[in-house]
Amino acid sequence: PVWERRVRSSARVRSGNGLSVLVTGAAGFVGMHVSSMLKRRGDGVLGLDNFNNYYDIGLKRSRKALIERAGVFVVEGDINDPALLRKLFDVVAFTHVMHLAAQAGVRYAMQNPSSYVNSNIAGFVNLLEVCKSANPQPAIVWASSSSVYGLNSKVPFSEKDRTDHPASLYAATKKAGEEIAHTYNHIYGLSITGLRFFTVYGPWGRPDMAYFFFTKDILKGNPITIFEAANHGTVARDFTYIDDVVKGCLAALDTAKKSTGSGGKKKGSAQLRIFNLGNTSPVPVSKLVSILEKLLKVKARRRVLPMPRNGDVQFTHANISLAQKELGYKPSTDLETGLKNFVKWYLSYYDSKKSACYRVYNSQQRSLEI
């Protein structure tokens, strides 16, 4: 059937590093960039995404159209659908899975807690179950999060630090993912690498993230809220540019060892790794706003409020020496350069001059969103 042919052709290795990768969350921000970079190298890539409505589906469809033009087929489906996953593994002998599908966002967990449990815990287990039974077993690289460091940590965060006090349900589900990864590595010999991303930003980014909605509100003349900690302390993030994160993801895939499929017989022989992928230079949120003001040539209407207890932490700051040593990871984009690229993309994607109405482009149609 046509569907199978498209799946097979998309996942076929042309050159590159000889990987055939299933990318979950391929229509997401990080997923789109990782998929297109792998495809550009010549590796085989098949995308999977459920196109949930957590944020603008038009943006997800546009990302999909873009990577499909580059030759990546994106299957519309859910990681919680075992029959679909098994079918994909029947058609393709994936060497790797890049698992980026998740319910992201710290604050939304208060409105829709079950979506976090369904995608980040049940969905992850379902995917690992299918990987465990696949022949060959793929090596898995998946997105954890800097949020696992929670409320205990002293900055900079190192992989050896405690992660036993998550500040949000999102963080708790990412932490649960790490425990689950340990189990599947230990019992079934799956090779698993977890990447703790630190506030990833850039073109085609997520509209629920501060740098994105600040840009939108500054252009519209809406007030923006900057939170400060209870002690009037600065809130800062280790903003990490998408291209740097993509390089880290590809290095993790390239260095992943094969799963041993030991079924517990050779305990500890399969690879289990956790890495921070951050930028090592946290920037206060107020500074982020100043850079955006400069780039947009518009003064922001700032409002400063105490940080609500909604799951956010005051600081994030990555120690990346382990990723540097093992993956050759070396972030090279400073916040000003990265935001310049983001703003350029934002202005070309949305026609911001029309304030309330902005145009969304995608390859099939040009629709007007209000």
Query: In the annotation, is 329 catalytic?
Result: no
Q: Please choose, out of 66-74, 98-106, 289-297, 326-334, the segment that lies near ligand NAD by the rule CB under 6 A.
A: 98-106
Asked if residue 57 lies in contact with residue 131, where contact means CB atoms within 8 angstroms, the answer is no
Span 14-73, contacts to ligand NAD by CB under 6 A: 24-25, 27-31, 49-52, 60
Q: Smallest distance from the beta carbon of 78 to ligand NAD, in angstroms?
A: 4
Q: Smallest distance from the beta carbon of 354 to ligand NAD, in angstroms?
A: 25
Asked if residue 311 lies in contact with residue 106, where contact means CB atoms within 8 angstroms, the answer is yes
Of 141 and 289, which CB lies nearer to ligand NAD in the complex structure? 141
Of 92 and 206, which CB lies nearer to ligand NAD in the complex structure? 206
Residue 280 to residue 146: CA distance in whole angstroms: 12
Q: Which two tokens stand for residue 112?
A: 């829709």
Residue 86 to residue 367: CA distance in whole angstroms: 36
Q: How many residues bind ligand NAD (CB under 6 A)?
A: 28
Binding-site member from 72, 100, 127, 320 for ligand NAD (CB under 6 A): 100
Asked if residue 138 lies in contact with residue 95, where contact means CB atoms within 8 angstroms, the answer is yes
Q: Please choose, out of 179-187, 199-207, 292-300, 332-340, the segment that lies near ligand NAD by the rule CB under 6 A.
A: 199-207
Residue 205 to residue 336: CA distance in whole angstroms: 16
Asked if residue 101 lies in contact with residue 50, where contact means CB atoms within 8 angstroms, the answer is yes
- What residues contact residue 256 under an 8 Å CB cut-off, 6+ apart? 96, 139, 140, 141, 191, 193, 271
Distances (CA, A) of 69 to 10, 17, 34, 54: 11, 21, 15, 25
Catalytic residue (one of 170, 184, 241, 329): 170
Provide the residue type at 118 as one letter. N
For residue 148, the 8-state DSSP code is G
Of 44 and 248, which CB lies nearer to ligand NAD in the complex structure? 248
Q: Smallest distance from the beta carbon of 55 to ligand NAD, in angstroms?
A: 7
Of 189 and 335, which CB lies nearer to ligand NAD in the complex structure? 335
Residues that bind ligand NAD (CB under 6 A): 24-25, 27-31, 49-52, 60, 78-80, 100-104, 119, 123, 143, 145, 197, 199-200, 206
Active site members: 170
